[in-house]
Structure 1
């Protein structure tokens, strides 16, 4: 019963399996700059970016139509993600909260990988499926990592 409540990771750790810290398999440090971004900061960055995109969509396209606002917000979010991650490596929300998106081996993501990541992020479901390093499926398929700066 205890392993069911605490989850498979806790059950495996109870049997002596060593997983290490998040990012160890990727060669990232455990703490500080370059370490895996914590979930709270990533959600906060997403909230900042979404609010910014809603403001832009409302001002430029929607003009009070709720259905149009949600559709345009998603479109603006896609463009914002594509342009900012593709050029500077972070969206405005990620920058404010001290995060950056980098390639698994370090450095910037290529254009096709940023495009793949942005499309999968807009679908939402891939971002909700995580691996043991707390990377969403969208990051894993694009071979990207969100790290602290």
Structure 2
């Protein structure tokens, strides 16, 4: 093995090195029995991030304009509380927040059914902590989704 191969395997990461050794990972969601593309497939990370950003901006605007009377510093805690309430209510009732709905995403249980209220609560609390939401498995499911037994899919 020459130096270029060693450096190339290091730069491409552990997944590429494992694939070079013959390990097959499959597509995202294959282990969960989800389709590779189209409705019902795992939602792309970029769309999920944009959906959370839309929900957050919506909550900040409501907190700033209606609740905190245009005091930006006072609106921050209200925005977080509104974000939690928005997630709890909208996921429990329709399985999708406004941002997710705009981007055609939905949060469901692994068997495809609606997420139960306890699952919504667990997922929302862990999402507010941020760290569990940014640690993913190879299917790009965050720890908050894994703890709730949920998956975000395209609709």
**TM-score if structure 1 supplies the norm length?**
0.96
**Which residue of 54, 73, 84 corresponds with 1:78?**
84
Secondary structure of the residue aligned to 2:26 is: coil
CA distance in 2, matches of 1:74, 1:2: 44
Q: Which position in structure 2 is the counterpart of 1:118?
A: 124
Q: Which position in structure 1 is the counterpart of 2:3?
A: none
**Which residue of 100, 107, 114 corresponds with 2:113?**
107
TM-superposition CA deviations, 1:54-109 (whole Å, max 9, x none): 11111232223333222111110000000000110000000000000000111101
1:55 and 2:58 are equivalent in the alignment:
no
Larger C-alpha radius of gyration, 1 or 2?
Answer: 2
* Count of residues in Structure 1 that have an aligned counterpart in Structure 2: 149
Secondary structure of the residue aligned to 1:55 is: helix
Secondary structure of the residue aligned to 1:31 is: coil
Alignment map for 1:10-25 (pairs within 5 Å): 10-25=16-31
CA distance in 2, matches of 1:59, 1:16: 56
CA distance in 1, matches of 2:39, 2:16: 27
Q: Which ranges of structure 2 fall in alignment gaps of 5 or more residues?
A: 1-6
CA distance in 1, matches of 2:70, 2:16: 48
CA distance in 1, matches of 2:126, 2:12: 30
Alignment map for 1:129-144 (pairs within 5 Å): 129-144=135-150
Q: Which ranges of structure 1 fall in alignment gaps of 5 or more residues?
A: none
What is the RMSD computed on CA atoms of the aligned residues? 1.0
Q: Which position in structure 2 is the counterpart of 1:89?
A: 95
**TM-score if structure 2 supplies the norm length?**
0.92
